[in-house]
Chains A and B, each alone.
Chain A
Amino acid sequence: MTALGKLIRTTAFKIIAVYLIVFAVFSAGVIAYLARHTQQLVVSQITETVDAELRSLQEQFAIGGINRLVDVVEARAQQPGSNLYLVTSYAGVSIVGNVQVSTGILDRPGWSEISYRRAEDPDVTHESRALVRVSVLPGGFRLMVGRDFEERDRLRQILAAPARWALFVIVIMGIAGALFIARRVLKRIDAMTATSDRIMAGDLTGRLPAAGTGDEFDRLANSLNAMLERIEGLMAGVKHVSDNIAHDLKTPLTRLRNHAEEALRSAKGEADYRAALEGTIEESDALIRTFDALLMITRAEAGEVRTHMADFDAAEIAESVGDLYEPLAEEKGVKLVVETEKPLPAHGNRELVGQALANLIDNAIKHGEPAGDDPGEIRVTARNAPGRVVFAVADRGPGIPEADRGRVLERFVRLEESRSRTGSGLGLSLAAAVARLHGGELKLEDNGPGLRVILAIPAQSG
């Protein structure tokens, strides 16, 4: 496609072209209307002049007969810029006048438009147009008085030339303007297209240019950039996950395979085979769990579960999940305390929120062991906040250094010191995904000592 072709295809150009055509037609109409009216004015002036002149000559004839008329006409015809005069006898013979006209014209009394030639004009072929009135005088004389159309024609010329120019300029300026605007629009669009081509080619770091003027293109560019940001984040997440899947799933898979091989090679009896097979099942169950958690996060992030949002009581969740984990905490010698405001009407997916909270409490039990003689305490609270229900799970363990807090929300991240312990490393990221899905948030705070995890979800509306 040529550059001009592209320009002409733009919406801006098309809109301006249509506007231009409408405007030109309208302007032409106005000019034509004005011209018609001024011409009518000129013609009526001519008519009045001719009428007055004719009346005055008729009076002269009435006073002094044909001789006086001839004298007066002769005198007036000599004046520069004079009217047109012609007096003929009853036989049609010209007596006096300053024009030559074709015969027969004076036979028709009244108004007519004629061609004539000035009597003194040496050029016999030069004819002009005029508006004349013929009157029959007593005695068969005929008197013709007229006026040249010269004024009308001159006026027409005066009007026509600028009107043509004006139209010409309007059209040229319009086309130029259209091309200019279309080019500007096209330039922005081309820049965007080029960037998106680059992005489609795989370079997700590209961003659409924004001129900073806050116009509609900037708004578009900004929202597309926000979208790209999200896509880039998701893509990075996917890459991160696939790397981690490779690691975290392949390691147990390898172990699984090794155990099976080992059993085949060196098992000595049914008991050995049994143990090996049981180990295999246990390891594959752990794999399935990791896989399920991953799927859950992915689907929560894709927003698929959003359809199953309902109203539920957050206090009930806090209590039942707390109740579920309380014996586990006790077994570890840690006290688990649940404190909730009641009622706590929340909106969301009860199952997912419950699972998120369970993960947080499970984490607190696993990683929140206090140092020294402190018996430790895990405090689970749920309370109302404006428009939100806020859960908090606080332990008195070693906590997480501020620098690591963002990182632990990522999938599979386990801080080195906890790598040896059980867990898929997906607990916190699942809770974070649940928070995001609900339009809420997950925050890690210092409990001094220990870690406090805040999970906020929307309250029931209305």
Chain B
Amino acid sequence: MRLLIVEDDREAAEYLKKALREAGHMAELAKDGEEGLALALDGDFDVLVIDRMLPKRDGLSLIAELRTRGRKTPVLILSALGQVDDRVTGLRAGGDDYLAKPYAFSELLARVEALSRRTTSQSGDTLYRVGDLELDRLSHRVSRGGKEIPLQPREFRLLEYLMRHAGQVVTRTMLLENVWDYHFDPQTNVIDVHVSRLRAKIDKGFDRALLHTVRGAGYMVRDGAR
């Protein structure tokens, strides 16, 4: 994956670039809003990571300019302002996701990967399949190995989100945001409890686990055989 990081803090930018390379992604750096805009318009990037407060041209105006020029490259906004209203403003300006500083790298990586997938994935698919686990989005039915698994509506949405991002790490906050539509920090391990409940329903009694815990990051639905 090719990324552009627009961030004026040199050290933070270099750290991100290095960490992304270790995760197998290429990243270019821009140190201010103007340079970032020029590079974003020129290059072919999968995801843009843009700091909100930048010299010369602030992040939101950069995104707005990109969108006016018809560029649909997914954007992850980084900001020291993590509050509700800032997030709303950021997403309204054309950002696709918003991450407050300080963040865990695993969180950023998971979100960037989810964003890049967004442009290519078939979100129009009505049937998700991972291993022998099947989820039908139309009939709201889930089955494993041909055997139907009854799920609560919330459990269904949780699994749906995990399966849409099959093979990718999904963090706890991503789940809270996308399944419950809340952006606050629940302070407790509520999400873990929900996931372990779900796991009990879809993995228990089968010899191969599909819902994995990724240590220090989140969860992933993946067919272990591959």
Residues of A within 8 A of B (CB): 278, 281, 285, 288-289, 292-293, 295-296, 299, 304-305, 307-308, 320-321, 323-325, 327-328, 331, 349, 351-352, 354-355, 358-359, 362, 365, 422-424, 427
Contacts and interface: CB of A to CB of B under 8 A. Distances in A.
A292 B82 contact: yes
Contact of B188 (A296, A307, A328, A352): A328
B104 interface: yes
9 contacts: A292-B82, A292-B100, A293-B185, A295-B83, A296-B83, A324-B190, A327-B190, A349-B84, A359-B187
Contacts of B150: none
A358 B182 contact: yes
Interface residues of B, number: 25
Interface string B176-192: 10001111111111100
B145 interface: no
Nearest to A355: B184
Contacts of A331: 193
Closest 9 CB pairs of A and B: A355-B184, A327-B193, A351-B84, A308-B85, A328-B193, A328-B190, A354-B182, A305-B85, A327-B197
Interface string B146-188: 0000000010000000000000000000001000111111111
Contacts of A296: 83
Contacts of A352: 84
A305 B187 contact: no
A165 to B, nearest CB: 73
Contacts of A292: 82, 100, 185
A285 B100 CA distance: 13
Contacts of A424: 187
Given A278-B216, A327-B194, A288 B180 contact: no
Nearest to B193: A327
Nearest to A310: B88
B193 A288 contact: no
Contacts of A305: 83-85
Contact of A308 (B82, B84, B154, B187): B84
Contacts of A281: 104, 216
Main secondary structure of the interface of A (DSSP, over half): helix
A362 to B, nearest CB: 6
B24 interface: no
Interface of B: 82-85, 88, 100, 102, 104, 154, 176, 180-190, 193-194, 197, 216
Given A323-B154, A351-B84, 12 more contacts: A292-B185, A295-B82, A305-B83, A307-B85, A308-B84, A324-B176, A328-B188, A328-B189, A354-B184, A358-B182, A362-B187, A365-B188
A292 B104 CA distance: 15
Nearest to A423: B187
B109 to A, nearest CB: 15
A365 B186 CA distance: 13
A323 B88 CA distance: 24
Contacts of A324: 176, 180, 182, 186, 190, 194
Contacts of A327: 190, 193-194, 197
Contacts of B186: 324, 358, 362
A311 B217 CA distance: 35
B88 A308 contact: yes
Max chain A CB contacts within 10 Å: which of B84, B100, B102, B176?
A: B84
Contacts of B197: 327
Max chain A CB contacts within 10 Å: which of B100, B176, B185?
A: B185
Contacts of A321: 182
A355 B188 contact: no
Main secondary structure of the interface of B (DSSP, over half): loop
B104 A285 contact: yes
Contacts of A320: 180-182
B63 to A, nearest CB: 19
Contacts of B181: 320
A21 B161 CA distance: 84
A423 B181 CA distance: 23
Nearest to B198: A327
Given A285-B104, A308-B85, A327-B193, A351 B188 contact: no
Contacts of B154: 323
A289 B185 contact: yes
Nearest to A295: B83
Contacts of A349: 84
Contact of A299 (B83, B104, B176): B83
Nearest to B195: A327
Given A299-B83, A304-B85, A351 B190 contact: no
Contacts of B82: 292, 295
A355 B182 contact: yes
A365 B189 CA distance: 12
Nearest to A282: B216
A351 B102 contact: no
A362 B188 contact: yes
Nearest to A359: B187
Contact of B184 (A295, A325, A358): A358
A281 B83 CA distance: 22
Contacts of B104: 281, 285
B182 A325 contact: no
A307 B102 CA distance: 25
B155 to A, nearest CB: 10
B70 to A, nearest CB: 29
B192 to A, nearest CB: 9
A365 to B, nearest CB: 8
Nearest to B84: A351
A16 B216 CA distance: 78
Nearest to A331: B193
B99 to A, nearest CB: 13
A358 B190 CA distance: 11
A427 B85 contact: no
Contacts of A323: 154, 180
A313 to B, nearest CB: 12
Given A296-B83, A305-B83, A307-B85, A351 B183 contact: yes
